[in-house]
Chains A and B, each alone.
Chain A
Amino acid sequence: MGKDKKNKFKTPEGYFDNFHDRLMDRIQQEDSQAEKSMIPKSDGFAVPETYFEDLAPKVIAQLEPKEVKVVQLKSYKKIYYSIAGVAAVLLLFFGLNRNKVDTVTFDDLANSELEAYFDTNDFNLSSYEIAEVVSLDQIELSDMLDQNLGEEQILEYLDENVEDIEDLNLDYNDYD
């Protein structure tokens, strides 16, 4: 029996030696009991047989560049030389007149044509994908809206339309 010199209370022999271990055991026991109580330990999902065995080769196959068929050039050498000769003559002839031909550039497209193109084609870009190519520094809310919105209108809109605060992608650190 252990004794405390200052008082007359006694504890069983070795009581404090393994106190920490016993305490941790009890916490663990309570934790597992609480979890066992209601929620099933398995969630019932299964995978096809050999799925995990077959996975690595499947993923690696997607990374390898497809092999390009090699065509033997030697036997066609003479033909290539004559084609190259004709091409050189044609290039010289048209090359001299090149400055006369107007080339169409991106700037020649009217804005309305560009808008119509984007309106009629579904690009299926997610907001993350758009965010990857257009940085926030380059864009203002007014770029997309005809009328300027006041802070009050924005708050009113969010209040009416946002059910889950997580949709706003705010900093989660202090959430919950």
Chain B
Amino acid sequence: MIAEETLVAELKHKDSQARAFEVLVNTYKERLYWHIRRIVLNHDDADDVLQNTFIKVYRNIDGFKGDSKLYSWMYRIATNESLTFLKQKSKKAGISDEELKMSLVENLQSDVYFEGDEIQLKLQKALATLPDKQKLVFTMKYFQEMKYEEISEVLETSVGALKTSYHLAVKKIEAYLKAD
């Protein structure tokens, strides 16, 4: 795999930009897709947000100073794009953010790209009741198996606070799953 610094340098250079961007997309497409998909739930929406994320990365690469790692910078863009997308969607539909989240979960039942059973559907309902931050921490740790240090760079939150958030999220989800 190409070193991150080399990739960034190539992305900033006009002659190597196109090839480097293809490498960037192919390296991060799956990780970013699943991160976005777990926020917006629907495949088509995730596809839109993922493409917008990569386009923003391409257009703003000159502004990337290297203070954080490239992947955490991209994860941050993906997270912001996903949350903004949901806010715009609820605004367009004239419903609250919570109503939108619940309707997205309800729609999963007829979604051809959701193969979950009853317990997985219930898990999504439980996740929809969590505050955004707790849900993000939980999915990044539990499903994407990211380290706390990596999540800390993306969400700009201390490792201690993340551990508390994760613990609370697990407790709430378990309580939801246990209830009838």
Contacts and interface: CB of A to CB of B under 8 A. Distances in A.
A40 B22 contact: no
Contacts of A42: 116, 120
Interface in B5-52: 18, 21-22, 25-26, 29-30, 33-34, 37-38, 41, 43, 47, 50-51
Interface stretch (A10-18, A47-55, A83-91, A152-160): A47-55
A1 interface: no
A85 B54 CA distance: 50
Interface residues of A, number: 32
B55 A55 contact: no
Contacts of B62: none
Given A42-B120, A48-B43, A126-B87, A176 B168 contact: yes
B147 interface: no
A126 to B, nearest CB: 6
A166 B113 contact: no
A146 interface: no
A44 B131 contact: no
A47 to B, nearest CB: 6
A164 B51 CA distance: 30
Interface in A31-61: 34-35, 37-40, 42-48, 51-52, 55-56, 58-60
Contacts of A45: 34, 37-38, 41, 43, 113-116
A47 B55 contact: no
B116 A56 contact: no
A46 B30 CA distance: 12
B146 interface: no
Contacts of B168: 176
Nearest to B121: A44
Given A44-B120, A58-B51, A172-B133, A39 B161 contact: no
Contacts of B142: 35, 39
Contacts of A172: 133, 155, 157, 161
Nearest to B175: A38
Interface residues of B, number: 52
B129 to A, nearest CB: 11
B116 A43 contact: yes
Nearest to B54: A59
B25 A59 contact: yes
Interface in A49-89: 51-52, 55-56, 58-60, 62-63
B123 A52 contact: no
B99 interface: no
Contacts of B124: 43
A175 interface: yes
Contacts of B50: 55
A174 interface: yes
Contacts of A39: 123, 142, 170, 173-174, 177
B107 interface: no
Interface of A: 34-35, 37-40, 42-48, 51-52, 55-56, 58-60, 62-63, 124, 126, 128, 164, 166, 172-176
13 contacts: A34-B170, A39-B170, A39-B177, A43-B38, A44-B120, A45-B114, A55-B29, A60-B18, A60-B25, A63-B55, A124-B88, A126-B87, A126-B88
